[in-house]
Amino acid sequence: MASWKKVLTHGSAVSDTDGLAIGTANGTTAAREKITLADGVTTDFVEIEAGTGLTISQAGGVITLVNTITQTNDTNLSQEDVEDFVGGMLDGTETGIAVDYNDTAGNINFVVADQTLQAASTGNTNLKLTMSNPTTDDDITLTLAGGLTVDSVGAGVATLTSANDNTQLSQVQVEDIVGAMLDGTETGITVSYDAANNNIDFVVADQTLTSASNSNNVIISLSNPSGTADTVEMVAGSNIAFSSVGAGTFTIAAETTAATSTALTDTTDATSFLVLSGSATGDNSLHTDASGLVYNADTETLTVTNLTVDGTTTTLDTANLIVKDKVVVIADGSTDAAAASGAGITVDVASTAADMPEFLWTNGGALTGWSLSNYVNGGATDHPVAIMDFSADSNAPTDNSGGVGSFHFDSGDSKLYVRIS
């Protein structure tokens, strides 16, 4: 069974008969007092210390705590109390800034320490910005793109340059560029750029065109304000004359000279060529030296005293051919009858020569050698032409020129003969 011993009864004094004694004693400092516990052999104690606004004392086993701060019935802090509390808080570590409390003015002052910002190039496309404070440095590196490069870095100044890849210029930029180009040499013209109206003005200096005579020729001059002149000389050719040459006017006329004719001779074969010459009568005739060949342009008539045409084919493109000669010679120049054989007239009515009607003489042909053929598609047949001789002597014919099959009529005896052999 448990055993208990009474130590202390509230409100009762401690007696020695209990074996323990509790009491008070002075503390180790003025702000402390002791509570003691003695058992007759040893004494233990604890100290109670008075904090801010309190005082402590002990006497006759009683410890007394007294509040030294005067309190009112208002439990709210005053503005001054709050300011003082906050001002007292501003006593911590301050880096890069100074903070103090002005109790008189009731203000808090913040003073940030001076900081510096510097720029440096870390390559032509990188820009490093450094902010320095009293304790540390902070850096930021800008990487340049889009054609931007670091051109130069100076005291507090960094110059960036753009490659200006944007070729899309504004209208004003284009106009200003063109206007600035109009600063070259200007001769005979004035070119200026009117920036206010966005116009280019062109003023051509006055130029003069004059004419002057030079012997039988005319010189045309174009003069400009620079003092230079360009000239063109007109030379009078054959049968051309210039007259009334003055400032800005002159007359060109055909020269009225006697008609001339010239024969150009090729020394290799002594052949004469026709040339055109003027005529005092204005007939613009074509002449040769002495052949009598005359062409009249007014009547479009060519008169030829004797005309010789060489070649294989002569074509006359006329509606009607009128020949005043009584005799037309065909196959002229043939050396014998064999060479002249086949001479005649052919009428072109078909695309095939064998189908065309014709009147031909063939050496050794039947009867007289002459034959006629009509137009036959598929090949015409030549029919010999028989002749009829006439006489009045009442005698039988003996001439053989008509050939076998020819006729002879004797009007003396009214007899008709046919040659049979």
pLDDT tier for residue 64 given thresholds of 50, 70 and 90 = very high
User: By three-state DSSP, how is residue 337 classified?
Assistant: helix
- Is the per-residue pLDDT at 175 higher than 60? yes
Structure tokens given for 42: 């040893």
| Alpha-carbon distances of 120 from 115, 139, 156, 359, 397, rounded to whole Å | 17, 10, 10, 120, 146
Q: What are the boundaries of each domain within the chain? A: 17-67, 79-110, 116-158, 178-255, 257-309, 389-418
* Percent of the chain whose predicted confidence (pLDDT) is above 70: 73
Q: Assess contact for 144 and 130: CB atoms under 8 A.
A: no
Q: What is the pTM of this model?
A: 0.31
Instruction: Give dist(CA 106, CA 80) in Å, integer.
Output: 8
119 membership: H or E segment, kind and range: strand 116-121
Mean pLDDT value of segment 324-345? 87
- pLDDT value of residue 90: 84
Instruction: Give dist(CA 222, CA 307) in Å, integer.
Output: 54
Residues in the chain: 421
CB proximity list for 79: less than 8 A, separation 6 or greater = 106
Which tens digit of pLDDT belongs to each residue from 38-47?
Answer: 887 888 888 9
User: By three-state DSSP, how is residue 258 classified?
Assistant: coil
CB proximity list for 202: less than 8 A, separation 6 or greater = 189, 190, 191
Higher pLDDT, 8 or 199: 199
Mean pLDDT value of segment 5-14? 46
DSSP type of residue 89: H
Highest mean pLDDT among 147-156, 244-253, 331-340: 331-340
Calculate the CA dihedral of residues 132, 138, 144, 148 and round it to 10 degrees. -10
CB proximity list for 386: less than 8 A, separation 6 or greater = 367, 368, 402, 403, 405, 406, 407
